[in-house]
Structure 1
């Protein structure tokens, strides 16, 4: 039901923008922005994160055209970024690192250009870069051995990459332990994994 309501709101917003009025067009844009914002909220209730994010961006861009509504514009851009982060989390869970990287790139652009939060932009640019590298590593392993995707080693690699991206040390240790129970890790692999674990510890300092 929420999705249909949201779609109706999008149509209302477009109709409002395209309507002719005797009054200042700024009022028309503000009204349309409010409707887009409602559509974003409704899509969010339906967990349609991409659609919600798009609606919030449209609202933000319309608010931005009015000097007195820059705060509303900033809040809508922030809501859009939050929706993109939800999509990003889902992509990470399914090891879709390239899509996750693209979402972080979009978030970084919002922080840099619209919210003017340079620290937030920097964090998301770095996260996008890390995810692109993770995706490249994943693709490289698979191209070396076409059967690699179906192996326990591949699943282990995806698991620890996800732990690194989320800085989840407990799950990282659990993944290593579970893999070692089935396929004994040699000393060289253990030393590499310990270095990775140590680098994760350092990020918390």
Structure 2
């Protein structure tokens, strides 16, 4: 069956090529129309044969035929089809095709379609752990969705931008985005239930900056933004973390994280954080097993802030070594190394 479909695909492709390069008739639009139909049949046959790479390459040829016929919308759709074929084997081939599709959809004013595929590109970069490019394309998707007033999807994309900004340690940018989308969500009965999560994430980013005074001011601002926030678990969690960092209470910090994590599962991945200063260096390594969720990364960064304060407060390494940081099912290790240049 597969071999038969593959042979059909090859035959349709050869006929399409002959239609394009048939001498003096090659300039006629009808030839490109006929070639497009044949390329489409060829791609379908290759898909049935699960020859994804060949199907993708034929869809690209189909797109070029549509461009000759001045049909950018159809050309964009062909690039999307090519991308979805390449996705079956590799994201590397899919991303350039989706970028071409986004350009064409934008040129013909199909902003929602362009946004949809910008978001898809962002997701592919996310799978490839390319946070910088993922952030760029989710940000562009949000801008395009805004042109069509697609509020819910705009907020989803902006939340991803904030997530990747936090991963890249752009905490100020992440904080601003989370606060903006929290404020925007309050105006919608459908979206307002996500506000406390956005404020929690914003607060964690503030904690990662290590300024306890700022986090206390931030919590007051959050209460002004949403008067119900002070009665939530998220608010209490932030307040407990801020207090434990301020008083350098490692046990309280650990307890607060474990209690919150018991109801809200956190990130599962390898994370490494290194801090160097003029007089001290600290290296910490955490191993967690399941798929990642960015929030725990920020929790871990908060813990690093606490360790940093403990070091400068002359606490010993043994006093701050906490192998039971999260929960029994999580394995993690923390090493603090203090050096003196003198």
TM-score normalised by structure 1 residue count: 0.54
Whole-Å separation in 2 of the counterparts to 1:58 and 1:109: 16
Matched-pair contact (CA < 8 Å) for 1:9–1:38: yes
Rate the CA distance shift 1:82–1:30 in 2: closer, same or farther, 3 A.
same
Instruction: For 1:38 and 1:47, locate their aligned partners in 2 and report how far apart those are by CA, in whole Å.
Output: 14
- Cα distance in 2 for partners of 1:72, 1:36 equals 13
Asked if 1:132 is matched to 2:128, the reply is yes
Query: What is the alpha-carbon distance in structure 1 between the residues aligned to residue 58 and residue 26 of structure 2?
Result: 25
Q: Aligned residue for 1:50?
A: 53
Counterpart check, 1:18 vs 2:8: no
Answer yes or no: is 1:123 the counterpart of 2:114. Answer: no
Q: Greater CA deviation, 39-48 or 72-81?
A: 72-81
Q: Which structure has more strand as a fraction of its residues?
A: 2
Q: CA deviation at 1:29?
A: 1.6
State the match for 2:101 in structure 1. Answer: 111
Inter-CA distance 25–123: structure 2 relative to 1 (3 Å threshold): same
TM-score by length of 2: 0.35
Change (3 A) 1:47 1:115: farther
Larger radius of gyration: 2
C-alpha distance 2-22 of structure 1, shift in aligned 2 (>3 A):
closer
Q: Hey, which of these two has a bigger chunk of helix by percent?
A: 1
Count of residue pairs the alignment pairs up: 140
Matched, 1:187 2:324: yes
Q: Any stretches of 5+ residues in structure 1 without a counterpart?
A: 88-98, 142-153, 166-185, 194-205
Give CA-to-partner distance per residue, 1:115-152, whole Å, 9 cap, x none. 33331243133224323337xxx9xx9xxxxxxxxxxx
Structure 2: any 5+ residue segments left out of the alignment? Answer: 107-112, 131-268, 273-286, 294-322, 331-342
Larger RCO of the pair (alpha carbons < 8 Å, separation 6+): 1
Counterpart CA distance in 1 for 2:53 and 2:63 is 15
Structure 2 distance, partners of 1:56, 1:66, is 15
